[in-house]
Chain A
Amino acid sequence: AQSVAQPEDQVNVAEGNPLTVKCTYSVSGNPYLFWYVQYPNRGLQFLLKYITGDNLVKGSYGFEAEFNKSQTSFHLKKPSALVSDSALYFCAVSLYYGNNRLAFGKGNQVVVIP
């Protein structure tokens, strides 16, 4: 079955430090991978996606993610975290079968400490 795993429940990082949110995937065929962010009581905002091409994908708000096929990972990164980056982050994979449906990870709460 196709799925994504976000192993950590919460990521704490000091403001100005690098931020990494981990995601690993398990899919049949080529993975189409997405990162979304959710602020309290809001819907999800699209950050970036990997379809093909360069393994390093740049997205919104200074975020980037690196696709690593050998490690089946798609970690989200930001060189210097801001307090406003505190939110819930979801990794998702587009299911190979199933009408564009996405399988979401459980989410990671990111807390950026001033």
Chain B
Amino acid sequence: GAVVSQHPSWVICKSGTSVKIECRSLDFQATTMFWYRQFPKQSLMLMATSNEGSKATYEQGVEKDKFLINHASLTLSTLTVTSAHPEDSSFYICSAIPGTSRRETQYFGPGTRLLVL
């Protein structure tokens, strides 16, 4: 149980295009999902908290117009990287929690590798 999927697993795009990444909780409902960015051999950087039915909460320094987040259902959150540039190339990982308590375990997706040419 507690499986989170991401699609696509990797994507290559041209500079200036937009890329959408999907995060799905497969066997539980998640009112809250998180989006992280990870650079090679580094820790995860939390980008934003995605809340079902409301606006996402972005971490300081993360451009909300650049990284659009939509959490339209209890099992799906999407991250759209708009007008992508080479510096947006990274490993993007989502996570989801099955409840609202601070005790809840975050379950992570397998990640999406984005390469912007």
Give me the interface of A with B, judged by CB distance under 8 Å. Answer: 32, 34, 36, 41-46, 49, 51, 88, 90, 94-96, 99-102, 104-107, 109
- Bound Cα distance from A32 to B102, whole angstroms: 8
Do A44 and B108 have beta carbons less than 8 Å apart? yes
- Bound Cα distance from A90 to B41, whole angstroms: 12
> Do A43 and B111 form a contact, CB below 8 Å, given A101-B46, A105-B43?
yes
Size range of the chain B interface in the assembly: 20 to 34
Contact with A along B100-115 (1 / 0, CB 8 A): 1111111111110100
Contacting residues, chain B, for A109 (C-beta < 8 A): 41
Other than A100-B104, A102-B106, give 5 A-B pairs with Cβ distance below 8 A: A41-B113, A43-B111, A46-B105, A94-B103, A99-B49
- Distance in Å: Cβ of A38 to nearest Cβ of chain B: 9
B78 at the interface (CB under 8 A from A): no
- Bound Cα distance from A105 to B49, whole angstroms: 19
Do A90 and B102 have beta carbons less than 8 Å apart? no
- Distance in Å: Cβ of A98 to nearest Cβ of chain B: 8
Do B113 and A104 have beta carbons less than 8 Å apart? no
- Bound Cα distance from A105 to B42, whole angstroms: 10
- Distance in Å: Cβ of B91 to nearest Cβ of chain A: 8
A-B contact pairs, 5 of them (CB 8 A): A36-B108, A99-B32, A99-B57, A104-B43, A109-B41
